[in-house]
Amino acid sequence: MTRKSESRVRAGAYASVGAALLLAACLGVEAAQAQAIMRTPTISVPSRTPTINPSVAARVSPGVAARAVGVARGPGPITTIPRISARLGPTPVLPYARYSPNLYPACNRDADGECLARPNAGGGGSGKVAKKSVGKGRGNATPVAANVRAFANEFVAEIDGALSPTEADELARRHGLTRVASENFPLIGATFGLFRITDGRPSETVRREFAADGSVRSVQPNFRYVLQDQKASVPAEGDPAQYALAKLRLPQAHTLAHGANVTVAVIDSGIDARHPELAHSVADNFDALGSAEGPHVHGTGIAGVIVAHARLMGSAPEARIIAIRAFGGSAGAAESSSYIILRSLNYAAEHGAQIVNMSFAGPKDAVIERAIAATAARGLVLIAAAGNAGAKSPPLYPAANPNVIAVSATDQQDKLFSASNRGNYIALAAPGVDIFLPAPDGKYQMTSGTSFSAAYVSGVAALLLERNSALKPEALRMTLAKTARDLGSPGRDDLFGDGEADAFAAVMAVPADGATPVAAAPGTTKREDAERRREEPGIRAIEQPSLSSTDDKGTISQVDRPATR
């Protein structure tokens, strides 16, 4: 072979080897890409902690300081806690409260999510929870069976206000009763007492005899009320990023209002006012129980829904809270009664509350109906949990009272919470499933229930009142209804009422103090009936409704109310 031929062969070999190396390199790159796709990617997720305006001053009003009242108080004076910076970087896993109890009598559920009555059911809430759900909601409910509706051998009675304590005690002794407590309630202009049977006679016999006494105006059972939450879930269930913020469009609403200078009375269990999420937000405390219990997981969570402002964001982070302890219990359960709820409403009305949050439920109660009517007549906005007793439950109170805004619960997929009550008294819906909230001792919890849905709406109401302090309760209610995001069947229905609250649309629809009305916020998806759609543009100005407006789908007419109304 010549030298030239050898050079050609060698060149060809080099070319072949180069091609082979190039092919191998290509195959190697492709194999590396495929392997990378199969691996779990590392994604940098920015902090989802909302930002609060750090320039807002502390919210404890000197004019709403602790007041001297003739009852035992709850927690002592609140220690001032330095305001935590609202702008946080990525945060570690938050400590969970793992002791959250069921705060109402335990029950079994049927296939429809109905709470089945249990003989001899008490208020301890120690039973296990059935795992039924719509979306992610877990099933447990509030039975209202006759044996748990009222406290045994106790009566609430209106008595002659001219009687001295000694004379009231003598009145009780004449009928085999003990006067547990009595006081005058300016809210309703009457004196009521709590009496207990001490001689073992049948309660109905005692009630009839007592009611016939000339010093007694009325007598009724001391009804039982229970908080409306569910057993806390494990930390893996739910999204700590607070999906409710986006559902309610709260970040957008907070560009216009934060609930500043608005006072919300929270009638609930004890609140941990020292929790960083609630720092400087509790302006007043009242213990209607006269108890020595510490803060409770339910009340702390409810307050967090409204005013959280550290790692979490409440619906009205600059609002003031009047913490009214009305629910308590020695075994983890928390319950209340007609007499205690009456004391709580009286305190809220007498001490400057503009909104009253009632995340509890019970039977229809003449004394509480009277107190609610008087509270509404003073211009307070009343908001309550619809109840967690399921699809077949009768209306629960105070939510079913026509003066109260009843709120049902939805989950992250906008499905109705399985345990949520239904009925034509439902006004609105709001997130209430797997809600991430503060708990006592600086901890956090994941919990569900219409309790928290009601609290979100209470916060939204505070935004509207900051926006326009002259807004009347019925006008506020109608604004929430007209701007709600329709869910379920078009228009009002028994599951979601007028739809899920839209904080941004509602705030935009309310003229600021001294300003003219602005157009409804774009993006609202509230469906109107076909005739209204033909007559009006898609985005329209919403004027402040009058109390007599009855020509609009958003108006809550007597036709929409239960027959008992």
Residues with catalytic roles: 268, 298, 451
Distance CA 449, CA 461 (A): 19
Instruction: Please give the DSSP secondary-structure letter assigned to residue 190.
Output: E
Length of the chain: 565
Pair 222, 156: CB distance under 8 Å: yes
Instruction: Please give the DSSP secondary-structure letter assigned to residue 485.
Output: B
Pair 356, 523: CB distance under 8 Å: no
Helices (H), 175-230: 203-211
The helix (run of H) or strand (run of E) holding residue 306 is helix 297-307
The helix (run of H) or strand (run of E) holding residue 30 is helix 3-38
Instruction: Please give the DSSP secondary-structure letter assigned to residue 242.
Output: T
The helix (run of H) or strand (run of E) holding residue 171 is helix 165-174
* Torsions phi, psi for 116 (to 5 deg): -85, 135
Beta bridge partners of 446: 436
Distance CA 89, CA 311 (A): 10
CA dihedral 10, 13, 17, 18 (to 10 degrees): 60
306: left (phi over 0), alpha (psi -120 to 50) or beta: alpha
Beta bridge partners of 103: none
Render the burial of 408-432: b for 16+ CB within 10 Å, e for the rest.
bbbbbebbbbbbbbbbbbbbbbbbb
Distance CA 126, CA 97 (A): 17
Report the amino acid identity of residue 183: E
